Chains A and B, each alone.
Chain A
């Protein structure tokens, strides 16, 4: 237990109590996450885990966090901070619950709604429970979100800090307002209630922890836990050679002007046990919806950092202390009003991959070649003739991941931006929506060649069984998944409407394009990059890929010149 030391007068704490409290805080965050995911209404939350939760102390420091979506890392506290900045500390009242989705505060698109509640014990503010989750529709000009919006005002309901519960009772006026703005009020309010239940779980757990150990001991444990995390991360960074590391890539376009790629550069400086990521050298905020608030650019840098520095180690207020991120207001990565933000994440996926690429020379064992990119959204909406009801089907597409020093990249795997999203089963999709899947298969020959090769992308071919409208947001054709250390890039993505026919049309982005019953849409996602020269891959490995049908013999001969047919050895 804690006792004041003679030297400082601050309480010290033994490592056993610290560890028990650390585990309790982590479990509290897990319990919040479980509550949210298990009680959410819409698959975006329970399947895609497009959500994150955090337990904060009264000074907005993260006590425990659990994230379904890596790019929500460590910025939920921006919402409680912003609220306090606007209304002062006295605004926090017991039994209140707040909501916020402003892109320029939270960093993401309006669909990502943060719900947060102050936690009081014996009348004293002790912390906050917060969750962020993706709501399926915010009343934007097109159902589910537009691919061609040019200001945030086309993207739906935008909320600054707004109270939705007061003294434990629902604020009916606000609930009514939300219900009238969104296209699917029932599931949307259901998801909101799941987030409220999540906040209550967090409040209950933190209250138990405070009642058991007291605020003094909790504070001492918190300081010790943060110090452990910071120490660990500084040690990892100190092991990286000092220097400036840089990598650049291109976003295909902003969804409006399809011919102009948008550059992104990440400049990483390692100086002793500190790391700085400078994002100032990127395109200005764009006309189309590819912008994000600075908070989200910081989060993407943190994901890249975590992939290389701290892996699966749990997050807390000590995390990311050694990391500084520099953004440029008015740029695509630190957008200001009224920039459109609906597709705020494509360049975030790019930033994550670029952080890894930049640091690859310093961390060749930990790095990996690039993956196929981000969501690769396929969205259908319309009236289902079977039920007469409006439907929205939104799917992300899996693809190939990059190779690394000791292994081939995985094939047909969801990307960093989409967290742990599971694909939509064909049987569920066809039952719920007027569409048929004709093929769902590995895309052979899409992997980047190398000593270790990338993973293959996927083929998903749809046939529409009713007239409807199609939206697409596919990326990474200008800079497809690059290789590392001499490895080749993976194949870029390709989407074709009515392939093989006279009206065949290739397109990667589309907003509400009318398609007819019988039309076919063939989607082929990119492969991952290779690692090391292809000439160093063994003939046995190449032959095995040919045998498994992952590589055609013709392509094997082209990619691996030393390989000569179906021999072993």
Chain B
């Protein structure tokens, strides 16, 4: 027996999914995360699906170590070394604000205090030509400060290092000589080889801040697995949706920042492929969270930059949009009107029905009042909900608004669904697509409870609840590829383009990428590279990433015209207009090196035997203001090919699917619930 194993180590639970290579079956399990010694929870979860670590042929996991260190401000003590005159670039942070009517606005508190920034003389111009040599004594002085004041990491960010990294490399060398291996040294051009000094510095600081924590963790996990007999490298999910081995992740820890949740999007990619659908809206709704991401044309929606807790990062990352607060969103009255969210009850105290001291009504409480969540079977029976507490929480608000408790509960869900749907519509429209062109894929504990109503609001005709909705991120990690991303700034107006130079630069990136895959142990036949270039109209700032056929394309006759036409078509689709004759600029070259994993051949889905204990179970559930007798079904009992119409509630260990009266469910060959919405939608 050999297994491929994926694990999503979240804040509360560790989810594990194992694929048995010998028979193509999958199993999932869950164990509490053990923050003190993560390995304990990891092996507890693993033990539920695989007896012998030596039987594991592939192991990937998603970790929130870096993100937690950031959110809890428990990262390294970082000294920041900047170019002369530029020490405050990180603290000025581009001087913008995101709330317009706040007299008390403060920027996010920087991860490096101002006194912990130093400068070194030396300056390049915009072409990378040296105006003044690096002041090596200043670098050595910084190293002495690191030792004297006990800093545990150094971030170096010099102007124009993305054009010529010589000064940063030399500073890195000096720091390594002076400080040895104990202090992590991060060079900005290696984290983000792009212009814009604040964003690049912020990326380098984030790497330095979270890096030591992630490195220590990866070292620990690798050692513990080796002790237990794991014979293959530990792989880690990256924010880009690809995986790398732990050895590489230790040298670029920042790329693991969103390691956990992107598994869901990659699961969306895999599920969309199984279903034969090009586009999917991935809705991951937990008790108090709601994340949306998109699969377009079979690919994850990836951006080349993003933010983490208010700090910009220049790296490829799957676009995860956090919308409202999901089931934790609070309902309240304002000026005599009903409001739902964005304020949230959070995990503590949580919804009133959790019985943890919450008294204000939430979306989850409304679901309980409507009978859409089975109070006895919440979180697979691990938690019982207090129905009366939910009623009590809704009563005062219902009175204030002149509604019955049931009407209010219905209204809270309708408003919450409408808001979620509106936010999703904005996302798809930003890509030049209407929601009707997507399948909605629902997972997480609460996603399948709201999915059909959200789809109805959106005009989406099909909702799919995949298998293991509560462990979907882990399942998704099994279907990804090894991925390394390389970038190079290549700013040039279109009319000054040196196509040969661009082709040579791309070829070099491609070779680096293929070599990196080799280091990852990817077979030569499974390696490939994809090239693209960021373009814009002269005068624009935002760029669009334009795919290239291959590295040599820019050197071909007529490339400028073809690239401009491709860019104009993308611009038209994305923004609704284009100016085909306007001059264009090239900004950044992007190369992704991808290594496919061996194919998996899933076995046909077979349900657990129906032991008859759930036969005839019926709930009283409100749909459109009317209580319906509604069968409650165990998902594990439903065979492939089974069909039924709503109303119905389908429960399973980690999730509940709500099927309204006009929806129709088919269990497909993969065991997915495929829900078609009624014509009346």
Which residues of A pack against B, CB within 8 Å?
14-16, 18-20, 22-24, 27, 30-31, 34-35, 38-43, 46-47, 67, 70, 184, 186-187, 189-190, 193-194, 196-197, 200-201, 224-225, 227-232, 303, 306-308, 310-312, 356, 366-368, 387, 398, 401-402, 404, 406-407, 410-414, 419-423, 425-428, 430-431, 436-442, 458, 461, 547-550
By a CB distance below 8 angstroms, the chain A residues around B339 are 19
Given known pairs A67-B100, A311-B102, A549-B115, the reply for A425 and B422 (CB within 8 Å) is no
Would B418 and A24 count as touching, CB distance under 8 A?
A: yes
**With A19-B339, A425-B198: A441-B88 Cβ-Cβ less than 8 Å:** yes
Q: Which of A35, A425, A440, A461 is within 8 Å of B575, CB to CB?
A: A35
* A548 in contact with B96 (CB, 8 Å): no
| B329 smallest CB distance to A (angstroms) | 12
Which residue from chain A places its CB closest to the CB of B93 in the assembled complex? A412
Write out the residue numbers on chain A whose beta carbons fall within 8 Å of the beta carbon of B162.
Answer: 427
A426 B159 Cβ-Cβ under 8 A:
yes
B93, B104, B415, B419: most-surrounded residue (chain A CB, <10 A): B104
Contact B430 A38 (CB under 8 A): yes
Chain A, Cβ-Cβ closest to B114:
A548
A398-B411 contact in complex given A19-B338, A35-B576, C-beta closer than 8 Å? no
A427, B195: Cβ atoms under 8 Å?
yes
- A24, A404, A431, A547: the one within 8 Å of B126 (CB): A431
Q: CA–CA, A311 to B102, complex, Å?
A: 7
B59 in the interface (beta carbon within 8 A): no
Closest residue on chain B to residue A224 by CB atoms: B337
Say whether B575 contacts A194, CB under 8 Å: yes
Q: Are B104 and A404 in contact (CB under 8 A)?
A: yes
Given contacts A197-B575, A398-B92, A427-B195, contact A232 B100 (CB under 8 A): no
A306 to B539, CA, bound (A): 34
Given A231-B336, A426-B159, answer yes or no on A16-B575 (Cβ-Cβ < 8 Å).
no
Say whether A43 contacts B334, CB under 8 Å: no
In the complex, given contacts A193-B577, A412-B88, A428-B196, what are 4 additional A-B residue pairs having Cβ atoms less than 8 angstroms apart? A46-B542, A47-B541, A193-B579, A441-B88
Top 6 nearest A-B pairs by Cβ distance?
A: A39-B575, A16-B411, A228-B335, A398-B95, A232-B335, A439-B85
Give the residue name and chain of the B residue nearest to A225 (CB).
Answer: B337
Instruction: Collect the chain B residues with CB atoms within 8 Å of residue A67's CB.
Output: 100
Docked complex Cα distance between A548 and B104 (Å) = 21
A380 to chain B, nearest CB (A): 15
Q: How far is the CB of B167 from chain A (nearest CB, A)?
A: 14
A19 to B87, CA, bound (A): 48
Q: Which of A19, A38, A303, A413 has the most CB of B within 10 A?
A: A19
**One of B105-113, B178-186, B668-676 at the interface:** B105-113
Interface string of B177-213 (1 = CB under 8 A from A): 0000000000000000001111100000000000000
> CA of A414 to CA of B86 in the docked complex: distance in angstroms?
19
Which residues of the other chain, B, contact A15 by a CB distance below 8 angstroms? 336-338, 401-403, 411
Asked, given contacts A19-B339, A426-B159, whether A197 binds B577 with beta carbons under 8 Å apart, the answer is: yes
1/0 contact string of B76-99 vs chain A (CB within 8 Å) = 000000000111110111111111
> Are A228 and B104 in contact (CB-based, < 8 A)?
no
The contact sample of 27 A-B pairs, CB cut-off 8 A, is A15-B403, A16-B403, A19-B339, A30-B426, A34-B430, A39-B575, A46-B540, A187-B539, A224-B337, A228-B335, A228-B337, A229-B335, A232-B335, A368-B104, A387-B493, A398-B95, A401-B103, A413-B97, A414-B96, A422-B94, A423-B94, A423-B96, A425-B94, A425-B196, A428-B195, A431-B195, A440-B88
With A193-B579, A420-B97, A425-B197: A312-B107 Cβ-Cβ less than 8 Å: no
Q: B117's closest neighbor in chain A, by CB?
A: A549
Chain B nearest Cβ from A82, distance in angstroms:
26
Q: Which residue of chain B is the closest to A308 with respect to CB atoms? A: B103
B92 touches A440 (CB 8 A): yes
- Per-residue CB contact flags for chain B residues 414-427 toward chain A (1 = under 8 Å, else 0) read 11001100110110
Within the complex, the shortest CB–CB distance from A462 to chain B, in Å, comes to: 11
Contact A410 B106 (CB under 8 A): yes
**Interchain CB contact under 8 A, B102 and A426:** no
